[in-house]
Every structure is written in structure tokens, then in C-alpha cells.
Structure 1
Amino acid sequence: MRFVDLVPALSPEALAVLGASGFVQPTPVQEATIPLFCGNKDVAVDACTGSGKTLAFVLPVVDRLRRLEAPLRINQVGAVIVSPTRELARQIFEVAQPFIATVAWLRALLLVGGSDPAVDVGSFKENGGHVLIGTPGRLDDIMQRCSTMDLRTVEVLVLDEADRLLDMGFKVQLDAIMQRLPRQRRTGLFSATQTEAVEALARAGLRNPVRVNVAVTQVQPPGVKSKKQSQGAEAASDATQRTPSTLHIQYILCEATQKLPQLVAFLQAKGAVTSLHSDSQGHQDKKVIVYFLTCACVDFVAAVLPRLSQCKGMTINALHGRMKQAARAATLAAFTEVPAGVLLCTDVAARGLDIPDVQWIVQFDPPQDPSAFVHRVGRTARMGRSGNAVVYLLPHEASYVDFLRVRKIPLQQAPLSQQLPDLQSALQRQSETDRLVMEAGTKAFVSYVRAYKEHHCKFIFRLQDLALGRLATAFALLRLPGMPEIKKGKGLEGFTPSAIDPDSVRFKDKAREKQRQVVLKQQQQRRQEEKVQRRQQRKQAVQQPEEHLPAAKRRKQQDREDLLQLQDEYTLLRKVKKGKMSASEFDAATGLDF
């Protein structure tokens, strides 16, 4: 089937844009969804990632508004498209723009966080926004702020990555948005893992929806007579898998201290180096996306990789949710444009993003939510193209492979790289000579341990099985941080504290080190003032006329002063044990630095 065969569901204008963009044949999900959604049907679409779901709702939305009897006024809204992340919302906006441009009066407005909401309100009042595309929080905020916005004319509501929207804390915002919209509207839910959120369909306000389930039949092993492999609408059999058949997923079992060397060896072997055509070994340019458990882990690896000699020539970008919106957009655009490179990121870049020419997905850490596994690997092998993915697992996490297979995600074990670079000494040297790396490693360690405790698969990812000593070594820690998860002598094998005093490590950035010294001086001055103040208070108490006090009262007063001093020193000692104060600072505060 071709797109022209979907007439009259699609307009000639939409077909012209599709033809100019090189789209001739619809994907199975587009073929099944577009006629239904262009008509008077609500749809709940369940299809593997990379199957073309964005066009499956953008085309019906635009053509439905095109067929309105009269154009919408500047303050009227015709469609609302909700996305869980800013990056995905921006991508939907860019995909929709060429089709929206074919309707003279139609305007789209992107509403995402990271900017002044007053600017968005002003933009709507001045230019209108017949199609609102954005994240739940910003959409809800602008709808509250903009009293002139008329939502009674909304024809279509789309919830993209619906399972994630209904699962990541957007319930209040989604309820508020849907309560403002008319009930007589078309609603579409689109996701790659929608089968896990059946109860969400009622919440979303669908009326007798048509379920579109585009499944992928598993490929039988060589020599085994297989059934006809197909992709089609409606429910699939038990033999279906959750990932595209063109996606090859592997796993590697290794210790925590081997993960970064394995990653560096992998990047070298796969040729993730920017070049015109290929390197001396014949490696073609490749894009690699590497996923981590936390933002701090991304920052640590982003700090150390460019300093390694093995990574010279690699274009390395970092992306996570704690970055400012402008930086996130610039990083994503830069990675999209380069012919080869590495993107280090969290699950903020796991859903819906269509980055061209991504050959490999590396899951350095398995995700907290197992459903995110499918979305991560879905950044490659999109629209029928081939792709590869690999996940690194610690030895005690081996049962995660069986867990994924039960969830229809096939994996094969990959061999370990035999010639691993010796990175540990280089990492330790970086941590001992640059405070930036030292602090990044400590933050990464703490965030990783705390995130590990919150894994959804607690029966596999158990904190008591985590080798904290090897993990601390992998993050090049000089000292173990004071945190309740670290119990003395338990799981700390493989870690040796550095002879370097962490307080003596300076920033290589002179401006940052100068700022640190100013802060340290201010802290020292403040502690000295507090020390003098405590001494004055004790002196005033001692200067009370003792001749008027009986001996018993003098002893009680002395006991109270001794107790106060002991409490002060105990408080400072607890700070030392927690790593908030060094031994030298303790001596200075207690008057022992003589």
C-alpha cells in the first residue's frame, strides 16, 4: 500500500508534503491508524518504537482541522498534543510544521519548560496557537495563565508516549488539561508499551476506542521451519516480541571496574570517531548513544572520557534533565548534525526522539523502569532500518536477561573485549589532581547507590548484592562518602583509600579554584567567629561572682558548661565522620591546632 491509497483520509496537500519528503509507503501502524483517526474513532495505538507513530497522529490532526467549515479565530485551539519530554515535544513540532504550513490560517505553538511562561502567553495572544504541542506542566500552566484561550473548539487530543505520561507524576496536570477540553473530541493514545497501562485508557477519556496493536513476529532460529513473519493491526500471538526484528540486542556480564574500560574498548572498536568516510581500519562513521542511571553518572563519564588518550578524536556530548533547556537543545542538535559521535545521556533521551544514523545503543546501566529498556533501544533500528544494542550487567544482575526474555525482548550474550585498556590508574590520577573529577566521581557514586535502591526490579537489583568497594574504585573515589547505605566492612572489598587528602585537591580551572578558596576562607572565618563566641559565653558564665554561689551550685554550673562544650565537640565529630569536615578543620574548631 502507498499513502495515495489512503485517500480520502489524507488530503492532496498532505500527500504532496509526504512526496516531497520521500515518504511513499506508510508503515503498518500508519496504515492501520490514519483512516481510523481521520474518521470519528478514538484510537489506542500499541506499536514498537521507531514504527512511525508521530506521522500516524500528525497527519490526522492537521487534515481534521483542514476540513473545518470555518477557520479558527486567533484565540481558539483546535488540537492539543501532549508529550512527556521537552525534546520529544520539539521533535513533534518540527515534524508537524511542513503539514501545518499547507493550511494558510493554521498556527502551531510549542509549549515546553525552560523559558519564561509570560513569553509563551504573549506569543499566543499575538500569533495564536491552533495546535498546542508541549509538556503537561507547561500546557497546564499556560492554560491557567491565558484567560483569552478558547478550548471549547478543541477537536483532537493526542497523548504521545501515553504510558509514560500516566506514570511519571503528570496525573494532576493531565486531569486538569482534559477537564478543560470538550468531551465531544477525538482522542488518541500512542505508545510502545501501552499494554501495561490498560487502566489508563479510562482516565484519558476515550469513548469506545479502537485498539491498534502492531506486533513484530519473532524470527525463528536457522534451520527451524518458521511461520510467515508479518506486521499487522490487532492483537498478536504469544510469539510476538516487543522490539523490531531488525534490532539485534546483546548483553555483557562484567564487574563494575570493567564497565568503563569495556565502553572505551567498544567505542574504539565500533569507530565512533568523526571522519570523512572511514578510519584506517575500515570502520565507518558511527553514532553511539550511551545511557546511564543518573545525571551525576553522565557528568562523571563526560568529565573523564575526553581526557583519556583512547578517546582522542571522539565527539562526546552529554545530555540529562538537570541541564538548562538551551543547553539540552544545543546538545541534541549538535549530536544530530555530526556524522559520528557519542551521546552520554539519561532516560530524558529515551523516548520518541528520532536521531538519524544511530547505529548502536549502549546501556551502561540498566534503567530503573524496565519499560524504559524498550524505549532506549528504540533510538536505533527505526522505520525498518537495522540497528544494534548492548547492555552491561553486573554478575549478580544476570537474571535480568531472563526477565527481559519473558517480556518478549530477545537478547544474546556478547563476548567480553579481551584487550581492555588500563584506565584505572588514569582515572585515579585525574581524581587526585583535579577536584572537578573528584567531586563528579563522589556525586556519581552517591546518586548511583541511591538510585539503585529504587530499582523497580528489586528482586534482581538488590543493594545488598552491590559490590560497593569495586563501585567506589570504578568512580575513582579517594575516600568513601559518609552515607547510611555504606556499612563498615560489608561489600567494601576492592577499594583502597588514596594517600592524597581530598581537601588538598584543587580545581585545574583557576577561576573555580579561586572561588573555592574564597568560600573556604569564609567558612573558616565563620567557624572562628563561632569559636570565639562560644568562648566568650563560657567566660561570661565563669565571671559570675563565685563567692555568692554555694559550692553545690558552682559544681552544677561547671557541669553544665562541660556538657555544652562536650555537645559542641560531639557535633563537630559527627561532621568529621560524615565527611562534612576534615580532621584539620576539627582541630581548628576545638582549639587543638597548636
Structure 2
Amino acid sequence: MDDDGLIMNFAIPDGTQTFKKTAPKAGGLSWRERRAKFKLGEGAGPKSGVNSIAVAKRAPRENKGNFNKPNRDGQSKDKQNSEGSSGSQKRSHPEELAESKKLKFTEKSGEKGGINNTYVSSLFTAQTKGPTLEETTAESVSHQPSNAPLKDDSTFEGLGLTEKLSQHLTSSMKYVAPTKVQRAVISKMIDSQQDYFVKAQTGSGKTLAFVLPIIHRLMTEPDLITRLSGLFAVILTPTRELAVQIHAVLESILRCHHHIVPGVVVGGEKKKSEKARIRKGVNILVATPGRLADHLENTTSLDVSQVRWLVLDEGDRLVELGFQETITKITDHLSQHSRINSNKWIELPPRRVNILCSATMPDDVKQFGSTILEKPEMISIDRGSEINATAPDQLVLKVLTVPPKLRLVTLAACLKNVPLHSEEVSRSIVFLSCANSVDYHFDVFAHGGKTTLLKDVEENEDEEGDEKNKKPTKPEIVYSTAPQINSNSVVFRLHGSLSQQLRSATILAFISNAAANSNKHFVLLCTDVASRGLDMPNISNVVEYDPPFTVDDHLHRIGRSARLGKAGEATIFLLPGEEEGYVDGKLRVVHPKKGSLRIVKYETILENAFSQEDAPDNKTGKKDPKAKAGKWDMHATTWHLEVERWLLENTAALEKASNAFVSHVRAYATHIGLEKMYFNVKTLHLGHLAKAFGLRETPKKLGSKSGENEGKKKEDPRKKMLRLARLAEKSKASEFNY
């Protein structure tokens, strides 16, 4: 899609327009100025001859954390000071502002009020639509974990697993007991040849549920199975990261039985190395659909004649990303080349067993599964419901209704507020809608920090898998310190446009927990590529900075926390207005437990993060006792203005911000039809939203190119916007790099 193709309903000043300065109406001053004048007995009229800044300087500061309110003309006090007004109120010089100690920042004079002739608007202005959700009163409600290991007399050995495998799970891998889904699936898969739909909450142990029965039956085969015996199981996953993780789990389990060999093939890795591993022989193969289809077509040493299990993990994501056709080709190939001999391997199923696993089971997934699975049995332990999936009971979801201007600074505040641990790393995951937005926000928080580059990157190979014509790869940043959050934070990024080597290195560095990293806060900025199946330790908070495209995506995102019975916390950002209806319309359905969903004021988050004591006065050596409580809004404004100034000074960063904004708007337009009532791109305030990307003006990329429609009939802007939104929706998987 052309970045310049999306037309929105707004006009961008071209710099040639002139603006008539008008005097404020009577009573048009802010409430601070009117209150100060009232105390001085001068009334509140605009023609009293009292300078507003001087009055504000003399007025006592009794209220804490108040915002700058707009006057009756719709202008904020900050904008009046920057643009000026007629009559007795004159433009205040930066020196006068600094002396007033009212603001901690100054701007060079310009026709439009800011440096480089840019517009300046205050963060804290009254919104046309303020939040309507009432803050949830503090309550200590704790629920028993719904995805924790069982506390009854259930054991792995009691489910039918061999003693050798059971002891390895409990002693070496520290699994105390099976979970509900493991108890339900393992015992059935050990004895039957049935196909299964498996539906269970995120973090409930579905991977072990289908892996353990396969390993058990391979281990108990009378004729010893080795890597030369053939391929018996194929596991398909939607993402490379999940495939690598499942392969790591298999390697850990099979340390108790080295004869069985797992393998993995994913896009982005060297095909020559994968072919060599396949040629040596593997018994269980984990793969992404595209790469497996490639090997089935081009790798002659890949023999699938003895495959007895086909597992589709995260089935809903496989369908969402459009892998149905590829998976159908794979299953057809498996069926055509099947040469199962039940007399040779007596403990293995006499036919191929198909299993589809997911935390959610929408209709399109069931329909697709019915074409792959033969007379499947549904195994659902999600409170007996096969329709509505729910979040883990012990997870707490905080809902923040944040005005568009304040989104970026509130995100920074959320990350600043994460508590640190002296013995381990605190981890947060922030989900954004598109790759461009991930890259931009990574640069924002890493600005001024120390970066760590990917070392020993393997050289690329050509399309044939040969090592001819090698091209050296350029150094890539794995992570960086994040001084824009605090000195203890380290920021990572993950999305589908990064090289596979960088993606693997990023995951490995993020989950590391070396002693040298204690008392640190690791922050992973990512797209939905990290929302499915990944098991990461000690996730303090999952932040949905951009709302999910579906409520199922929401469940998978927050499922990175509160895994296997551990406590968890998640935060979702919503905009005032229609998006607030998402709480009662969708979120309360998947968070039904009392106290598991809480409405939190964004002002509280900002105050906790940006309240700070000023340095002692040089003359008296004393601190202002009211400084900490009263100036958090100024500190937040200063933080955001530093981001704006950095963009104005850095052309490359400004271009990234503009691209991120455009991609964000396009991604917003791709919400499914059932949720468009909450997320309608036509209701976005583009100017305020651009402010959250550090932009002082809405990028011209959202407008049409000059001369584009010359000689042609102009297309209605709103119709063109909707047409392009539909095109974006069709190409979502490739456009936004999940």
C-alpha cells in the first residue's frame, strides 16, 4: 500500500495562512487566573490590565496536580502564552516564563509558537470527550488460580506415563503435578487413536499435554526407536519463536531418553543446515507451515511415510494468518505418502492422529479443523464452556482510559512504576499494532542509552541453500538501556520484519536471568508475533498499548502473564468515547470474576511516576515541601516536550515517528466488523493522536499527493479512507509484520 494514499478529514496549514488574533471574551481566563484576580479584588474581566503570567505567579498554589483548562475560546493557557492575544495581554518572553517558575520549559518564538516554526499545544487540556468510566474502588479480591497444577492426588505416573518419564518431570524439570488440561488429554492420548480439539486457557500447560503422550508411546515401543527409525510426529506452529520454544521443551524432556531425537525447521534459518539435520534423522519435527511445505517439496530425504501424529498448535492463529491452504497441502502430502505398517510398531497408533489446540475456538477454526480432523472429540476445561474463553482467574486487568495526547507519556509512566526486585529481573511486555510503531517507540525509550549489538551473526545464503555468494549482515541492535524510563530499565523489540537471528537473540536475552541483571527492568516492545504460546518467566505486567484486533487476541496477549497458577497483571489503554464501551461489551465477558477487572485513573499513574522533589534552593538550602505533590504535571509535560524536541533535531527519528503514526492509523482501521462499534477509525482525533507520537503536526502522508487527482474527478475523502481501510484489512498479516 502507498503510504501517501490514506486521506483523512482534516486540513494541514501550509504556512502561508495568516491568523487573526482576537481578544479573549469576558471571563475567558483560566480558573487559576480568575481565582487569583478574585483574591486581589480585581475581578475577572479581560481588560483589567493585569498580566496573566504575573497574576499566576502571585497566586498561592493550593491545589495539586491541576491541568491547564481551556478558556471559552477553546484555547489553553499555554497556547495563549505561545500565540499571544490582542489588547492588554502581550506575548510573554521566555525569560519571564522562566522567572515565574511556572514552567520548566521554554520555546523559541516563532510564527506558530514553537521552535522550527511548529505548533505547540499543551498536554493537559480539557477533552471534548472525557472518560466516563468510574474508577474502581480499591478491593483486595484474590481468586484461586484456574490454570495451576492440581493440588489433589493427581500425578504424572497416575496418568499412565512411564516411571522414568514421570520422575524426570518431577525431579529434573520441577513439575510438581499435572494441570487440568494435562490430566484430561494425556490419559486419552495414551490409549486411544481419536482426533481431538483441545481448548484450554493460556498458560495452562497445553504443550506438555500433547507432547508427553507422544514421547511416552515412542519410549514404550518394544523395538528401540532411534533417529534412524523415521519421523513419527509433526507439530505445526504459527510463529518461529513458538516452534523454537516447543523444540527446547522437547529437548529438555528427552534428556531422560536420548535415543528419540527432535528437530525444528522454521523460516529465516539456513535451509542447508536444516536439510543436514533431516538427513541424519529426526523422530519429532516442529515446524512453521511455510518452511515445512518447502521441505516436503524440495528435500528428498524428508520421509513422512511413518508419521502417526499431526499437531496444530495455536490453531486460531494459524487460521487467522491464512495458513489453511498451506496446511491442507501438507496434510494431503502426508496422506498420499503414508505407508503405516501397524505390524512393525505395535505401540504406535495404526493411523495418523490429528490434534488441534488453542485457547480460543471460534467458528472458523472449528470449520477448518473439521476438514483436517476425522470425527474429533472436544476436550475443553475452560469451565465447561466451548464458546466463550476466559482469562485466568488470578489475573488482574487494569483499564486506563487515556486521552490521545497523553498516551505516550502515560505509557512511560506505567513502565516507570513497575517495582524492581533485588533477586531477579522484572519483565514487562508492551503490545503495539505494527512493526513501524515498535521501532519508533524503541528509539524513544532507548534515546541516549547504551545499545548492545548482535554478535557473531551468520552470513546469509542464497535461495538454493548454498553458501556461495555470501553477503555479510550489518550489525543489529538486540537491546538498549532505556534512560527515558529510568536508569534500571533495558528495552527490547520484536516483530516479524527483523531477521530470524535477531529475533532469536532478542528472546534469549529477554528471558535471561543472570545475577548481574538483578534489580533490572526488562521491557519488550512487540507486535502480536509474541502473543501466542511463548512462555517467559516473571512477567510483571502485560501492557496492551494498542487495543487488540479481536478479544481472542486480548486473551492471548495477557496470557503471557499469570501462567501455571502464578499471579499476573495486565493493563489495557483505551481512548475516551466509543472505546470505553469495549469494557462492558467484551472485557467483562472474558474477565467474569469479581475484582479481576479494575478501572484506574490515568492521573494516578502519571502522578506516581512523575512526582519528584525539586533540588534544594541554592540560597536557603531547603526544599519546597509542596513541590513533590504539585508539579507532576509539569514534569510529565517536560518529558514529552523533550521527545518533541529530539524529533525536531533528528530527521531520521522524525521520519520514523511519521511512519509509525501512519501505520498505526492503518492498523486501527483493520479491527473486525463485530468490534468496529468500539474502534472506528473515523472517530479518531488525528491531531491529538499525532501528539502521542511526538509530532506537533499531523503528517502530510495522510493526505493525497499534490496533483494526484489532477484532471480526474476527486474521490470523496471518507470513501477513499474506507476503501483503503478495507485493502489494509485484507493485507493485515503482511502489512503490519506480525
TM-score where L is the length of structure 2:
0.59
Aligned-partner residue type, residue 355 of structure 2: G
SS of alignment partner, residue 476 of structure 1: coil
CA distance in 2, matches of 1:145, 1:269: 52
User: Does the aligned pair in 1 maintain the 2:236–2:286 contact within 8 Å?
Assistant: yes
User: Does the aligned pair in 2 maintain the 1:75–1:150 contact within 8 Å?
Assistant: no
User: Does the aligned pair in 1 maintain the 2:425–2:538 contact within 8 Å?
Assistant: no
Which residue of structure 2 aligns with residue 276 of structure 1? 422
Within 5 Å, give how 1:178-327 maps onto structure 2.
Answer: 178-182=331-335, 184-196=351-363, 197-204=365-372, 206-216=373-383, 235-236=384-385, 242-271=390-419, 276-277=422-423, 286-307=426-447, 309-327=484-502
Following superposition, the deviation at residue 100 of structure 1 comes to: 2.7
Aligned-partner residue type, residue 123 of structure 1: R
Which residue of structure 2 aligns with residue 146 of structure 1? 299
In structure 2, the CA distance between the partners of 1:145 and 1:100, relative to structure 1 (3 Å rule), is farther
Runs (5+) with no aligned partner, structure 2: 1-151, 339-350, 448-482, 608-632, 712-738
Aligned-partner residue type, residue 186 of structure 2: I
Aligned-partner residue type, residue 149 of structure 1: L
Are 1:119 and 2:273 matched, yes or no? yes
In structure 2, the CA distance between the partners of 1:145 and 1:192, relative to structure 1 (3 Å rule), is same
Within 5 Å, give how 1:97-176 maps onto structure 2.
Answer: 97-125=251-279, 127-176=280-329
In structure 2, the CA distance between the partners of 1:445 and 1:309, relative to structure 1 (3 Å rule), is closer
Within 5 Å, give how 1:57-136 maps onto structure 2.
Answer: 57-70=210-223, 71=225, 74=228, 76-125=230-279, 127-136=280-289
CA distance in 2, matches of 1:241, 1:84: 20
Aligned-partner residue type, residue 133 of structure 1: V
CA distance in 2, matches of 1:251, 1:297: 21
Following superposition, the deviation at residue 237 of structure 1 comes to: 9.2
Which residue of structure 2 aligns with residue 426 of structure 1? 642
CA distance in 1, matches of 2:374, 2:157: 24
CA distance in 2, matches of 1:287, 1:5: 31
Are 1:476 and 2:476 matched, yes or no? no
Following superposition, the deviation at residue 3 of structure 1 comes to: 5.8
Following superposition, the deviation at residue 341 of structure 1 comes to: 1.3
**Deviates most, 92-101 or 358-367:** 92-101
CA distance in 1, matches of 2:668, 2:358: 26
Within 5 Å, give how 1:15-54 maps onto structure 2.
Answer: 15-19=166-170, 20-40=172-192, 41-54=194-207
Q: Out of 649, 655, 661, which is 1:439 matched to?
A: 655
Which residue of structure 2 aligns with residue 564 of structure 1? none
User: Does the aligned pair in 1 maintain the 2:227–2:282 contact within 8 Å?
Assistant: no
CA distance in 2, matches of 1:77, 1:329: 26
Aligned-partner residue type, residue 56 of structure 1: A
CA distance in 2, matches of 1:435, 1:76: 57
Which residue of structure 2 aligns with residue 495 of structure 1? none
In structure 2, the CA distance between the partners of 1:64 and 1:3, relative to structure 1 (3 Å rule), is farther
In structure 2, the CA distance between the partners of 1:142 and 1:237, relative to structure 1 (3 Å rule), is closer
Within 5 Å, give how 1:480-491 maps onto structure 2.
Answer: 480-483=698-701, 486=703
CA distance in 2, matches of 1:300, 1:405: 29
Which residue of structure 1 aligns with residue 670 of structure 2? 454
Are 1:363 and 2:544 matched, yes or no? yes
In structure 2, the CA distance between the partners of 1:316 and 1:39, relative to structure 1 (3 Å rule), is same
SS of alignment partner, residue 13 of structure 1: helix
Are 1:466 and 2:617 matched, yes or no? no
In structure 2, the CA distance between the partners of 1:407 and 1:59, relative to structure 1 (3 Å rule), is same
1:13-50 CA-partner distances (Å, limit 9, x unpaired)? 21122022111211001011101112223221111100
CA distance in 2, matches of 1:114, 1:148: 20
Which residue of structure 1 aligns with residue 574 of structure 2? 393
Q: How many residues align?
A: 463
In structure 2, the CA distance between the partners of 1:92 and 1:5, relative to structure 1 (3 Å rule), is closer
In structure 2, the CA distance between the partners of 1:287 and 1:471, relative to structure 1 (3 Å rule), is same
User: Does the aligned pair in 1 maintain the 2:492–2:523 contact within 8 Å?
Assistant: yes
Aligned-partner residue type, residue 498 of structure 2: M
User: Does the aligned pair in 1 maintain the 2:314–2:532 contact within 8 Å?
Assistant: yes
CA distance in 1, matches of 2:243, 2:310: 14
User: Does the aligned pair in 1 maintain the 2:540–2:561 contact within 8 Å?
Assistant: yes
Q: Whose helix fraction is larger, Structure 1's or Structure 2's?
A: 1
Following superposition, the deviation at residue 72 of structure 1 comes to: 5.8
Runs (5+) with no aligned partner, structure 1: 217-234, 278-283, 489-566, 572-594
In structure 2, the CA distance between the partners of 1:73 and 1:365, relative to structure 1 (3 Å rule), is closer
Greater relative CO, 1 or 2 (CA 8 Å, sep 6+): 2
Following superposition, the deviation at residue 163 of structure 1 comes to: 1.3
CA distance in 1, matches of 2:378, 2:541: 32
Following superposition, the deviation at residue 107 of structure 1 comes to: 1.3
Following superposition, the deviation at residue 200 of structure 1 comes to: 2.4
SS of alignment partner, residue 305 of structure 2: coil
Percent of aligned pairs with the same residue?
A: 32
TM-score where L is the length of structure 1:
0.73
SS of alignment partner, residue 10 of structure 1: coil
CA distance in 2, matches of 1:90, 1:36: 27
Which residue of structure 2 aligns with residue 344 of structure 1? 525
CA distance in 1, matches of 2:229, 2:548: 42
SS of alignment partner, residue 424 of structure 1: helix
SS of alignment partner, residue 277 of structure 2: helix
